[in-house]
Amino acid sequence: MPIDFELTDEQQMFKDTIRDFGENEITPLVEDAENNEKFPVELFPKLGEMGFLGIAFPEEYGGVDLDKITECIFAEEMGRINAGIAMCVNAHTSLSMVPILKFGNDAQKEKYLLPGIEGKIIGALGLTEPDAGSDARSIRATAVKKGDKYIINGTKTWITNGTMCDYVIVAAYTDKSKKGTGISLFVIDADAPGFTEKNKIHKLGHRSADTAELVFVNCEIPEENLLVGEGGFTGAMATLLGARITHAAKSVGLAQAAFEFALNYSKEREAFGRPISKFQAISFKLAQMAVKIETARLLVYKAAWLYSNDKKALKEASMAKLYAADVVQDVCTEAVQVLGGYGYGVEFPVERYYRDAKLASITEGTSEIQHVVIARELGI
């Protein structure tokens, strides 16, 4: 079969739809969300109505069941509009609903997936703790079985959608003596007794994203809220591979936004009697930015294609995530440079792009961890 670099008609139509929706329905919300560090929650039901939250989910749960490339088109377009908003949406779909789709029983799927795909409830995933991020096996949260309940104790931090979520999937040790394999995953509803604190975290960038520290003190949940039992944690984490690919797509979108802004600016801004785009120093910068974005996009699409076709995509997903993280930081830094002083001020969005770009190499596996994964896949 020949390699085909064209989007299908359906994918192209989808791209146009999300771009229109983004510019008409999301862009007007961005300034307020960024300034007030508050995700516009009214967006979720609208995204649900458009079918955007159900791209990766089967029709029986209200999804539209499209391929991973379409999901990446969505993530890229969302990243182009606003990285913080894109992150919250990705955390809801790829991090909080995918584990329920893969491991949930019928009752859990009915309870969380149906309204989640409609955007009527919002989910989160809580792995990271104050003392354990990349090294997930070092988490301290515990879950103790008591009758027909589990009692959860622990603190999760940096949790996307943390203050606004209706449920959070939490990793906790059910057997501390078994390092790593003694971890289980639970779904905790936001109104569970003992889910005591949701403390908002203020950040360098992604200010429109909801990020929080979550505290569980003798938090009681019914035993049926167990999602993945002991021994299944590593396998469950492996399913987050798809989220890594969409995360990379989101980085490409943010880089694209910075590039487009810098390109247009360079044609209008004049210095020494001509547009700055006519200086080779600037035009070569823009050419380099375009090459990097295109290369990152190709890596993303390749990983997405492998994933959609049920082929091994671990190395390629990490390559796409790692490279897109480098590219978005390079491109956003150069975009500031193209704008000069105006790149540093808050009047134009490039300053925000620059702040937002840094996160790409931290979340969903840091860039160092992506190197570890790639090296392991190379057999070293």
Ligand X SMILES: Cc1cc2nc3c(=O)[nH]c(=O)nc-3n(C[C@H](O)[C@H](O)[C@H](O)COP(=O)(O)OP(=O)(O)OC[C@H]3O[C@@H](n4cnc5c(N)ncnc54)[C@H](O)[C@@H]3O)c2cc1C
Contacting residues toward ligand X, per CB under 6 A: 91, 124-128, 133-135, 158-160, 203, 206, 211, 359, 362-363, 366, 368-369, 372
* Bridge partners (DSSP) listed for residue 275: 270
The one-letter amino acid code at 350 reads: V
Shortest distance in whole angstroms from residue 159 CB to ligand X: 5
Q: Which is nearer to ligand X, 105 or 134 (CB)?
A: 134
Which of 249, 175, 187, 212 has the alpha carbon at shortest distance from 18? 249
Instruction: Judge residue 114's burial from the number of C-beta atoms within 10 Å of its C-beta, 0-12 exposed, 13-18 middle, 19 or more buried.
Output: middle
Which of 128, 129, 85, 202 has the alpha carbon at shortest distance from 363? 128
Q: Which residue is nearest to ligand X (CB)?
A: 133
Strand pairing category for 167-173 and 123-126 = parallel
Q: Which is nearer to ligand X, 253 or 297 (CB)?
A: 253
Element (DSSP H or E) covering residue 274: strand 274-275
Shortest distance in whole angstroms from residue 267 CB to ligand X: 34
Shortest distance in whole angstroms from residue 12 CB to ligand X: 31
**Residue tagged active-site, from 71, 129, 351, 364:** 364
Rounded to 10 degrees, what is the CA torsion of 331, 332, 336, 342?
Answer: 130
Q: Which is nearer to ligand X, 115 or 123 (CB)?
A: 123
364 is catalytic: yes
Shortest distance in whole angstroms from residue 364 CB to ligand X: 6
Distance CA 314, CA 365 (A): 13
Q: Which is nearer to ligand X, 70 or 90 (CB)?
A: 90
Q: At 168, is the secondary structure helix, strand, or coil?
A: strand
Active site residues per annotation: 364
